[in-house]
C-alpha cells in the first residue's frame, strides 16, 4: 500500500467518548501533520511532527492529543469533544519541514468526525 | 502567517483554458509557490510548485513574474473532472513552520 492512509474514514462520537484517529504513510517521509477542515472554512494546521518530534502546536485545545510513535504513524486522540469539533480531519506527510520539500504535502483522504 | 489572495470562484466551459491568479505580496526570497487541488471530501493534492518564471508538468503550468508577488495557475483544456477547489500557498519559514491554506478558488467546469 502506498501514500497516506487514514482510519477510520467516518467516526461518530458522543461528547464523553474517547476515540482515536490513525494515520500511516508509506512514503518514507520524515514530517507528518494534522489539519482540520470545517465546513466552509480554510484548512487549519493543528500539529506538525518532524522525525517523531512535535515542532508545532497551533494553539489546539487539549481535548485533542497527538501521538507520533515513529515517522510512519501519527495518531490523534480525542476526548470530551464538542459538537463544533465536527469536521474533516486530514493527515499529511512531507519529506521534511524545511526547504522546497516542505511545500509538497501528500494528504490522506481524511477522517470525517461527527460529535453529537 | 503567509497570506495569499485569489478569486473565490470561477466558472469555465469544458475544453477552455483556465487561468487562476493568486497574489502573495509578502513572499520572501526563499519561499516556493505551491498549488493544490481539492475534490469534495478528499484531502488536497499537490499540483505544481515553482520559484520563478514558468514551470510546466503534465497537469498544469505555473507562471511567476519577476517580482514574484503573484502567480498564475494555468489549466489547459479543462474537463468536468477538473471541478475542484484550487489553493495557492507558499511556505513562510521565519523560524516557525506554517504552511497556510487560504479559502482557495472554487472552479466549476460547465459542460
User: Which of A90, A103, A110 lies closest to B32 in CB terms?
Assistant: A103
Question: CA B48, CA B90: separation in Å to the nearest integer?
Answer: 12
Residue A71 three-state SS = coil
Kindly give the confidence (pLDDT) of every residue in chain B, 111 residues in length, as a single tens digit, with 9 standing for 90 and above. 568 899 999 999 999 999 999 998 888 887 888 999 999 888 999 999 999 899 999 999 999 999 999 999 999 999 999 999 999 988 765 544 667 788 899 999 999
Residue A100 three-state SS = helix
Q: Does A8 touch chain B (CB under 8 A)?
A: no
Contact state of A100 with B102 under an 8 Å Cβ cutoff: no
Residue A84 three-state SS = helix
Residue with cell 460547465: B110
Amino acid at each position: 500500500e502506498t501514500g497516506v492512509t487514514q482510519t477510520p474514514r467516518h467516526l461518530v462520537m458522543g461528547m464523553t467518548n474517547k476515540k482515536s484517529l490513525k494515520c500511516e504513510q508509506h512514503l518514507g517521509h520524515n514530517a507528518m501533520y494534522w489539519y482540520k477542515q470545517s465546513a466552509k472554512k480554510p484548512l487549519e494546521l493543528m500539529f506538525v511532527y518532524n522525525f517523531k518530534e512535535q515542532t508545532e502546536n497551533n494553539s489546539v485545545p487539549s481535548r485533542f492529543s497527538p501521538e507520533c510513535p515513529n515517522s510512519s504513524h501519527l495518531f490523534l486522540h480525542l476526548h470530551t469533544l464538542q459538537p463544533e469539533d465536527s469536521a474533516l480531519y486530514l493527515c499529511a506527510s512531507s519529506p521534511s519541514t524545511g526547504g522546497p520539500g516542505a511545500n509538497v504535502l501528500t494528504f490522506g483522504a481524511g477522517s470525517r468526525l461527527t460529535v453529537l | 502567517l503567509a497570506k495569499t489572495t485569489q478569486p473565490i470562484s470561477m466558472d469555465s466551459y469544458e475544453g477552455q483554458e483556465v487561468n487562476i491568479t493568486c497574489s502573495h505580496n509578502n513572499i520572501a526570497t526563499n519561499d516556493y509557490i505551491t498549488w493544490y487541488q481539492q475534490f469534495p471530501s478528499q484531502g488536497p493534492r499537490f499540483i505544481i510548485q515553482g520559484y520563478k518564471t514558468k514551470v510546466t508538468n503534465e497537469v498544469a503550468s505555473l507562471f511567476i513574474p519577476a517580482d514574484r508577488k503573484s502567480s498564475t495557475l494555468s489549466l489547459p483544456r479543462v474537463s468536468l473532472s477538473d471541478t475542484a477547489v484550487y489553493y495557492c500557498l507558499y511556505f513562510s519559514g521565519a523560524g516557525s513552520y506554517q504552511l497556510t491554506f487560504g479559502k482557495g478558488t472554487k472552479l466549476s467546469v460547465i459542460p
